[in-house]
Amino acid sequence: MSSPEKPLENNSNEAANSNNENVSSPESSLNSETDNTTPVTDDVEKPEPVVAEAPESKADAVEHPTTTEDEKVPVSESSSEEEFSTDEEIHKDDDDEVAVEDLSTLSNEELVALAEKYADDDNILDLRPAFNQLREHLKSIFDNEQEDSLNTYLEDGGERDDYQPIPNPLVDRFYQALKKFNKRKDEFVKNREKELQQNLAKKKDILDELRINAEKEENIGRAFEKFRELQERWRAIGPVPYAEVRDLQLNYHFLNDLFYNHIEINRELQELDFRKNLEVKERLCEDAEKLVKEPSFNKAFSRLQELQQTWKETGPVPFEQKDSIWERFNAGRKALIEKRDQYRAAKEQLKEKNLELKTALCEKAEAIESSPEWKHKQWQTATEELMAIQKEWRKVGPAPDNVNDEIWKRFRAAADKLFSAKNNFYNTRKKEFADNLKLKVALCEQAENLMNSTDWKFTTAELIKLQKEWKKIGQVGERQSEKIWKRFRTACDTYFNNKSEHFADMDKANEENLIKKMAILEKLESFEHPANPQEVVNALRDFQQQWSDIGFVPLAKKEEVQGRYRKALDGHYDKLKLDSGEKQKLRYQQKLENIRSSDNPRKLNDEKRFLQNKINELQNDVQVLENNIGFFGHSKGAEEMKADFEKKIRKSKEEISMLKAKLKMVKDS
């Protein structure tokens, strides 16, 4: 073995070669979707040639065996074949993934079940776009349900600060699934990073072994066998950290070139090696050509990364087939990239269309103008109109990324404007409800104080008055309306049911009383006066007592029966030869009987009050007259005036005596 060159150290700051199967750390939460995965290029460049540093002395120089032009062996396929561009790399875009489910057709239960399914799936990274879409869709649904619940609570008179969100088991299940999804994703990323570092260490070890094999192994057979073993081990190792890829590849190819330059391998072995490499690359071409049929862009580009990595690690092919095999592989790459670009273009067109639709919905929402004069029904109509617009909004997909947040803020501002005015209306309405409730509670208390009364006429009038006042008072809100109305209605019904039962019993008694009074009338009308007037008076008083002891008669017969009674009684008194005082007493007793038989018990109290007031008035008159008599002299005119005063005093005292007798009769009755 001749003295080898040192491998080339890469001091370039350019990006690593596109053969890297770099897997960037996925976002720490589903709220962020930063894409750090490796892009795919459809433009490839010729790589810069690998140039070793000039040796500082002859001892460091590399000696190459002398060959003729026909015997030259290509140093490396990579030195003449187009490489994958370092400027545009494989790009896995979460937005390129086609959504598997049409979420708008699923129920909330089905959506949560789908989230739980995603959280258990082993293909955790490829499911990120679908899970993000599902999360946003469910969040919108849950937020709108809570907002609708809050609005209903406020409309019923509730206070915003007192509102308690309605527990939703589906929300809890979803956030458990989200937590599990993020945990498994983080574990995957952590394990992936660990695996990348392990792969890096393995490849560095292989580089050391390649260097030793090229520099120190003297036996050509063992050297070639070892070289093939190291190549197979290199290909079997998975991806490494992105920042290490370019250095690893440059050193790997350098050591491959070093091996071919320093080992005098016979042409047959080299050609056999090239044919095996060609077979591997043909299979890679076939696999690349199939990728265009893969419906998942993420899966397709992940696979393309693997194919490019294998292509890079596969050795040279026969010189005459080098360009054609590369062009075939590159055509498969470009077909997939073109399909991805067409999909993106179509998606951008759809986003522009969505922007037009969302702009129109914003204009419709902004056109809903509220008024301080609106009533509950008008606010309900406006709310329903806005909710219908919001429902249409949810059906529209995202707008272009640069305006998506802006258009949402515009729509949200229009909705907030309406709901803010609506909340002000219901806060004012709530105060009115509270004031009205206080008034109705007061009416309930008054009705409850009257509901057991038996003063039928007075209480009936009072309750009717309360009912009229009730109708003048406004609403108290749905939560209190039925409760306060039942309370008031119960008090009123209690009284009127008692009244109905009372008068139902009275009607029966009145019919019986009518029969009794008709019997007394027949006896009274046919009564013959005995010779002794006192016996007549006693008999008439007995008739009056019997009449008084009997209660009321039916109202329809009252006037007729009472008229016959007075007529018969007056006729008997007219036949008696009694002094005026006795007659007046008997007639007054008859009057008291009429008062007692009336349906107004207050009349008796009114009569008592009238008599007492009249007595007081006459007693005052007598006192004044008696005081004035003392001022008269002994003249003739004075004597006449004094006599007139004395007459008035005497008459007033007689009337007072008569009134006191009547008052006693009232009290005794």
pLDDT tens for each residue of 4-22: 333 323 333 333 333 333 3
Q: Which amino acid is at 180?
A: K
Instruction: Dihedral sign for Cα 538, 541, 547, 549, please.
Output: negative
Q: Is the pLDDT of residue 540 over 90?
A: no
Q: Give the span between the Cα atoms of 663 and 668, in whole angstroms.
A: 9
pLDDT in tens, 467-496: 999 999 988 888 888 999 999 999 999 999
Q: What average pLDDT is seen over the chain?
A: 77
Q: How far is CA 226 from CA 212, 278, 450, in A?
A: 11, 21, 113
Q: How far is CA 113 from CA 105, 108, 120, 142, 175, in A?
A: 14, 9, 11, 15, 12
Q: Considering the chain, what percentage of its residues have pLDDT values greater than 90? A: 20
pLDDT in tens, 106-153: 888 888 898 888 888 888 777 888 888 888 888 888 888 888 788 777
Q: How far is CA 60 from CA 2, 11, 52, 394, in A?
A: 11, 21, 12, 71
Place of tokens 């050391």: 208
Is residue 291 within 8 A of residue 67, CB to CB? The reply is no
Q: Considering the chain, what percentage of its residues have pLDDT values greater than 70? A: 78
Q: How confident is the model at residue 273 (pLDDT cuts 50, 70, 90)?
A: confident
pLDDT in tens, 146-155: 887 887 777 7
Burial class (CB in 10 A: 0-12, 13-18, 19+), 158: middle
Q: What single string gives the DSSP state of each residue in 500-545?
A: HHHHHHHHHHHHHHHHHHHHHHHHHHTPPPPSSHHHHHHHHHHHHH
State residue 636's pLDDT score. Answer: 60
Higher pLDDT pick, 214 / 52? 214
State residue 600's pLDDT score. Answer: 67
pLDDT in tens, 390-443: 999 988 888 998 998 999 999 999 999 888 888 888 888 888 888 999 999 999
Q: Give the span between the Cα atoms of 503 and 501, in whole angstroms.
A: 6
Phi, psi at 45, each rounded to 5°:
-120, 155
Is residue 393 within 8 A of residue 359, CB to CB? The reply is no
Q: How far is CA 198 from CA 23, 188, 194, in A?
A: 14, 15, 6
What one-character DSSP code corresponds to residue 79?
Answer: G
Nearest to 139 by CA among 115, 121, 105, 164: 115
Q: Is the pLDDT of residue 23 over 60?
A: no
- Averaged pLDDT, 573-586: 70
Q: Give the span between the Cα atoms of 558 and 598, in whole angstroms.
A: 9
pLDDT in tens, 489-534: 999 999 999 988 887 777 788 888 888 889 888 888 888 888 787 7
Q: Is the pLDDT of residue 92 over 70?
A: no
- Averaged pLDDT, 348-361: 92
Higher pLDDT pick, 258 / 420? 420
State residue 492's pLDDT score. Answer: 94
pLDDT in tens, 276-294: 999 999 999 999 999 989 8
Q: Is the pLDDT of residue 604 over 60?
A: yes
Radius of gyration of the chain (CA): 58
State residue 466's pLDDT score. Answer: 92
Least confident range of 69-73, 154-158, 228-232: 69-73
State residue 307's pLDDT score. Answer: 92
Is residue 398 within 8 A of residue 348, CB to CB? The reply is no
Q: How confident is the model at residue 101 (pLDDT cuts 50, 70, 90)?
A: low
